[in-house]
Structure 1
């Protein structure tokens, strides 16, 4: 199966919104390596397995880990970039309905529990438009309906895009030194700031503190390393600058709601069938 833009006929631009009332399904097993910025009238549920997927909107980059999904509301411009070809993606596109739950109006990343996994597995052979009134449409609609009830924690797995070029340099420095312990005071000194002015720059541009940004970046890197399955949890902790495995494990749990070892041993259901 070829995955050039021509063969796919840019389904996400032409076909998703062609039938306004259908739920559209596209299941990408091969991993198209870049879907450029686009938007659609339907809201999108994108579920991923195998590796991290980067979803970039105008203001943020979301890190979608394996066995999680991102909800993208109607009309939000975004690009999609799987980290590697081992990513499997499942897309369901839903028409917007009147008086919808507020859940559907907000971008967010959520873990997939066993119930949702089984429902997603049911959609394995679907492709294209699911017509209103068909059994598959009813099942897809049930998937959408259950989300606000089971997805209670919107995981903070996104980083804002810096607007200030001075900050871009500092964020690159963090990126390149995730295995070291990076101290705020040292970063301020190295880049010629007082701690107070650098603190203000982070808050003003990114709406978060240095430590918040640094912690999220370390955990996101840890997720990527765990998915490669080459290192132990202890080695992953060291790679992202944690000398204490319990501290790393507790921080990881705070972000993903599961321990690194549980995440490492998680099952990929789409590939097992």
Structure 2
């Protein structure tokens, strides 16, 4: 089942839970939305999920909940990435969890249930009582076992100058950038650039730039054999302890711990 096909199939039966597992080797899933809510799980790397306002960084052994109607495109960072998807019809009075985008670490119970469903594809309807009971319970468990959503996203700039500046930062991520020098490179004062970040992105330059570096390092950790010291340097850190401490502050784990989560469990 290719991606073009499954995108049109998800909502054909509004009452079904739609299952699409083992999506692998896709380089890009075009912008689209569904009437159903989407559970997207990944292994083997990082998946970029781009909505109209944000870029999300979904790391291995985590899942993202995408509410109904949210337009999004999917960019896996490596052909090794495996994605598993479940699409759920939503009730009018669904709880807050199902109404907002979020990235969460997966727990062992959900992993076991995904393993159980790993060869299922297509519509699962109430008439398939045994299968339906499992995926229906899976949806309920998402909300009941959820921890706090991880802030693994960056807002899209809308100001033309800031779009250029962020492209420059991304293209030169291996260098360290300080606000005064960056501002002068773009014929701005550091005060005006500071204000522009706050106004357009709702966050300071240092917070945006720190997260950009750490999210990029996450891709290197998942998709390469570079050691952690090399990766620190590749995102502009001259000090390994500073990089490791910053990484842990942003993502809640040390780089070495994150690398261990990249084993593939659910390959068919």
Taking structure 1 as the reference length, the TM-score comes to 0.91
Residue matched to 1:264: 259
Question: Which segments of 5 or more consecutive residues in structure 1 lack a partner in the other structure?
Answer: none
Q: Distance in 2 between matches of 1:245 and 1:135?
A: 51
Deviations 1:50-83 (A, max 9, x none): 1221211111111212221111000111111222
Aligned alpha-carbon RMSD (Å)? 1.7
Q: 1:192 aligns with which of 187, 191, 201?
A: 187
Q: Distance in 2 between matches of 1:115 and 1:243?
A: 40
Checking the alignment, whether the CA contact within 8 Å between 1:69 and 1:112 is kept in structure 2 is: yes
Q: 1:247 to 1:137 in 2, by over 3 A?
A: farther
Checking the alignment, whether the CA contact within 8 Å between 1:24 and 1:128 is kept in structure 2 is: yes
Q: Identify which of structures 1 and 2 has the higher relative contact order when contacts are C-alpha pairs closer than 8 Å and 6+ apart.
A: 2
Residue matched to 1:142: 137
Checking the alignment, whether the CA contact within 8 Å between 2:25 and 2:82 is kept in structure 1 is: yes
Deviations 1:101-123 (A, max 9, x none): 20110011111122222222222
Secondary structure class of the residue paired with 1:80: strand
Residue matched to 1:130: 124
Checking the alignment, whether the CA contact within 8 Å between 2:78 and 2:223 is kept in structure 1 is: no
Secondary structure class of the residue paired with 2:18: strand
Taking structure 2 as the reference length, the TM-score comes to 0.93
Q: Distance in 2 between matches of 1:53 and 1:88?
A: 9
Secondary structure class of the residue paired with 1:90: strand
Q: Residue 68 in 1 paired to residue 62 in 2? A: yes
Q: Residue 37 in 1 paired to residue 31 in 2? A: yes
Checking the alignment, whether the CA contact within 8 Å between 2:173 and 2:234 is kept in structure 1 is: yes
Q: Kindly state the Cα deviation for residue 224 of structure 1 after the two structures are TM-superposed.
A: 0.7
Q: Distance in 2 between matches of 1:135 and 1:265?
A: 34
Checking the alignment, whether the CA contact within 8 Å between 1:27 and 1:90 is kept in structure 2 is: yes
Q: 1:248 to 1:150 in 2, by over 3 A?
A: farther
Residue matched to 2:154: 159
Question: Which segments of 5 or more consecutive residues in structure 2 lack a partner in the other structure?
Answer: none
Checking the alignment, whether the CA contact within 8 Å between 2:213 and 2:235 is kept in structure 1 is: yes
Structure 1 residue ranges (4+ consecutive) displaced by more than 3 angstroms after TM superposition: none
Secondary structure class of the residue paired with 1:81: strand
